[in-house]
Amino acid sequence: MHDHRKLGRELDLFDTDPLMGAGLPYWLPDGAIVRHTLEEYVREAERAAGYRHVYSPVLGKRDLYEISGHWDHYREDMFPPMDLGAEQVVLRPSLCPHHALIYRSRSHSYRELPLRIAELGGMYRAELSGVLGGLTRVRAIHLNDAHIFCTLEQAVEEARAALALIARAYADLGIRASRYRLSLPGEGGKYVADPRLWRRATALLREVLDSSGIDGSGIDYEAAEGEAAFYGPKIDVQITDPAGRESTLSTVQIDFHQPERFDLHYIGPDGAKHRPVMVHRSVIGSVERAVAHLLEEHGGAFPTWLAPVQLAVLPIAQAQEERAHEVVRRAVARGLRAEVSGPGDGTLGARVRAARLVPYQAVIGDREADAGLAAVRLRDGRRPGAVPVAELLERIAARAADRGAELWPAA
């Protein structure tokens, strides 16, 4: 059974330092490569789906969260406010209020809708130190977030498209949803009170779930009370770790509350002001939780396109070391991530074992060096044999580009 905290340390991906503080992990170079590649993947998928990216600050005035309702309904999860002259500023508990202000900063015609604003940004949660650990319970969270401002008529289609984006990402990442959950409010004052808006949003989310899936015939889900956001119901895409613990990775929400609170509007075809609907969605959730889950799901053997090192080049003896470095230079020039592990790092057997999570290994002896070949070994144990270096690099680049799982498809 894989524990992402143990793997993260063994593979030099991330760590924590008591002086930085509990729940505030830092990312080492190999971990940063995985995170960066994941972030670029999401941004590109969003760009292709019509999202526009923004940046907004991780702090906001306390007044902002009073308007959004976080101050009343979510304060115990927030960091205490900081006094700054006559003002108080707060580390933000979510990106929604900032995106609402960005929308409100310009006037919008119905012709611009749906307007999809995306940001992979930081947010903060004052978790108690007793529950912190690894990447799954952290105080600084980097969320793949977006808010779609649209008409009521567009909301179901936008939420459905977000679910499709999530399904596509899970396929590319080699992970799967364990179940879909429709999260509804429970008892208590945690939720904003407006039964009419709750009912309307819940009905729309049921419509989304009932018309999603491969052929639009609906996806199975379970309703759960007490799991909604304070301002509205949501669809949670659940994942299960190897110990059987379930958590939420991705979410889709239809929200009538924030547009009211921030008095958002667009100009309709009738020339009058109308209230937009806000669809909140996250495709891969936070990068912290996503990488933790990827680590545990794959046991550290990331899909080729995400692997910190995609090709390990292993010269048998010192005589082939220069040749090995040349292979790495060619791989890097092609945009691949490759490293030499030479005789100074141990016996060939030890180096093969050390690189066991690297998808491709190229062993170079005298015969290969002279002929421009590499003896290929795959992470799954197969040995396709000696192939021209150019062909090997071509195959790795193709795999990284199409994100396929098969390391060595038949030519």
Residues that bind Zn ion (CB under 5 A): 96, 280
Residue 98 carries which side chain, given as an amino acid letter? H
CA 209 to chain centre: 22
Q: Scanning the structure block, which residue is given the tokens 């940001």?
A: 119
Residue 355 carries which side chain, given as an amino acid letter? A
Nearer to Zn ion, 261 or 330 (CB): 261
Q: Scanning the structure block, which residue is given the tokens 């779609």?
A: 148
How big is the CA angle at 177 (ends 206 and 399), to the nearest 5 degrees?
A: 130
Residue 91: φ, ψ to 5°: -70, 130
Least Å distance, CB 50 to Zn ion, is 18
Nearer to Zn ion, 70 or 293 (CB): 70
Least Å distance, CB 99 to Zn ion, is 7
Nearer to Zn ion, 92 or 181 (CB): 92
Least Å distance, CB 247 to Zn ion, is 18
Least Å distance, CB 160 to Zn ion, is 18
Nearer to Zn ion, 202 or 304 (CB): 202
Least Å distance, CB 96 to Zn ion, is 3
Least Å distance, CB 97 to Zn ion, is 9
Least Å distance, CB 298 to Zn ion, is 29
CB distance 263 to 269 below 8 Å? no
Nearer to Zn ion, 96 or 396 (CB): 96
CB distance 258 to 278 below 8 Å? yes
State both tokens at 274: 């109308």
Least Å distance, CB 352 to Zn ion, is 47
Least Å distance, CB 256 to Zn ion, is 13
How big is the CA angle at 43 (ends 329 and 278), to the nearest 5 degrees?
A: 170
CB distance 11 to 27 below 8 Å? no
Residue 269 carries which side chain, given as an amino acid letter? P
Nearer to Zn ion, 183 or 310 (CB): 183
CA distance 123 to 130: 20
Distances (CA, A) of 290 to 37, 104, 250, 307, 395: 12, 31, 9, 14, 27
Least Å distance, CB 94 to Zn ion, is 6
CA distance 308 to 355: 11
CA distance 119 to 46: 10
- The H-or-E segment that residue 156 falls in is helix 152-173
Q: Scanning the structure block, which residue is given the tokens 């547009």?
A: 259
Nearer to Zn ion, 56 or 240 (CB): 56
CB distance 198 to 261 below 8 Å? no
CB distance 135 to 291 below 8 Å? yes
Nearer to Zn ion, 159 or 400 (CB): 159
Collapsing DSSP states into helix, strand and coil, what is residue 179? strand
Please give the torsion angle defined by the CA atoms of residues 41, 166, 232 and 215, in that order, rounded to the nearest 10 degrees. Answer: 150
Nearer to Zn ion, 119 or 368 (CB): 119
From the CB of residue 370, how many other CB atoms can be counted at a distance below 10 Å? 10
Nearer to Zn ion, 175 or 279 (CB): 279
State both tokens at 395: 């195959």
